[in-house]
Structure 1
Amino acid sequence: MGGGGGGGDGEPEFQIAPMIDVLLVLLIFFMSITSAQVLRIDKEITLPVAADAKKKEKNMMNEAALNVRWTKGKSLIMFEDTRYDDVQPLVELLGKRKESNAKYRVVIRGDRSLPAIEIQRVMSVIAQAGIDDISFSALNKN
């Protein structure tokens, strides 16, 4: 005649199955929001070293990584797994993102061997999209 879950002696039983369900949902949620950013980082880029580089902020919702690789004497711009030989579609895409999110920023992940003129060109592309918050990715050790 008890209120369910009891062993007959009136003591309530601890239900572990609902707790596991909640933990699995949280695990899937956190895996899905972090893996998207991790996959968009180009592992072939060797970042430059900056002695005063600061640790990255935790909030990644308002930013995107723009990978610029130096290959065979030319720059290769990659954004969200898409290569941009013509930068005009990239300008339009970044412009739309900035319109929908005023805090949108871009982190340039440029290869160590990338000439400065190429970084300047990428910064110009970002500026054409109306984005004025730009950061550079670097390492603070060798």
Structure 2
Amino acid sequence: MAGGGGGAEGDPEFQIAPMIDVLLVLLIFFMSIATTAVSRYDPSIELPVAPDANKKEDSEGELVFNVAWKAQTQSAVTTFEEHAVNLDDVVSTLIARKKADPKVRVLVRSDGLTPVRYVSAVVEAAAKAGISDVTFATLSR
């Protein structure tokens, strides 16, 4: 009777090159995801402190607005998707996002010293787009 398989004597060798290729692809994938998630948040914003703040569940479907207060010029700069925006111009984008995902929500990240009129302008833009789920980022020190 003839023995089946292989033809070579000894243990088969493990092929490491395909494994390295797969690991490199996964590494690149996760690095690209991590940089887009982190870049949505402006690190220069000093969030207000709220001792009773709750930690958010997830950030899926979240549209992040950063409102940075510039004390030198006594004005605020609002950014959305890493670009400074005029809130009247962004309403159409918010409407499109709401149509694509009805569970979309707005996250407002603002300096603690920013006057409320700049923050309420973001809330008004969300309301014009039909987005009623608006949250505010705070620290719970």
TM-score by length of 1: 0.85
- What is the match of residue 67 of structure 1? 66
The share of aligned pairs that are identical, in percent, is 47
Residues of 2 paired with 1:108 and 1:82: CA distance? 15
Residues of 1 paired with 2:120 and 2:62: CA distance? 19
Alignment of 1:36 with 2:39, yes or no, is: no
Q: Which amino acid aligns with 1:74?
A: S
Equivalent residues in 2 for 1:89-104 (5 A)?
89-104=89-104
SS in structure 2 at match of 1:47: coil
TM-superposed CA distance for 1:128, in Å, is 0.8
**Higher deviation after alignment, 48-57 or 108-117:** 48-57
Residues of 1 paired with 2:57 and 2:22: CA distance? 28
- What is the match of residue 81 of structure 1? 82
Flag the structure with larger Rg: 2
- What is the match of residue 133 of structure 2? 133
TM-superposed CA distance for 1:77, in Å, is 0.8
Q: Which 4+ residue blocks in structure 1 deviate beyond 6 angstroms?
A: none
TM-score by length of 2: 0.86
- What is the match of residue 6 of structure 2? 3
Q: Deviation per CA, 1:85-131, whole angstroms, max 9, x where unpaired?
A: x3221111111111111111111001111122322222111111111
Distance 1:56 1:3, change over 3 A: farther
- Structure 1 unmatched runs, 5+: none
SS in structure 1 at match of 2:42: coil
SS in structure 2 at match of 1:34: helix
Q: Which amino acid aligns with 2:108?
A: I
Q: Which amino acid aligns with 2:139?
A: L
SS in structure 2 at match of 1:76: strand
- Structure 2 unmatched runs, 5+: none
Q: Deviation per CA, 1:43-62, whole angstroms, max 9, x where unpaired?
A: 2110111112222334x331
Q: Deviation per CA, 1:47-80, whole angstroms, max 9, x where unpaired?
A: 111112222334x331121000111212211001
> How many aligned positions are there?
136
Report the aligned-residue RMSD: 1.9
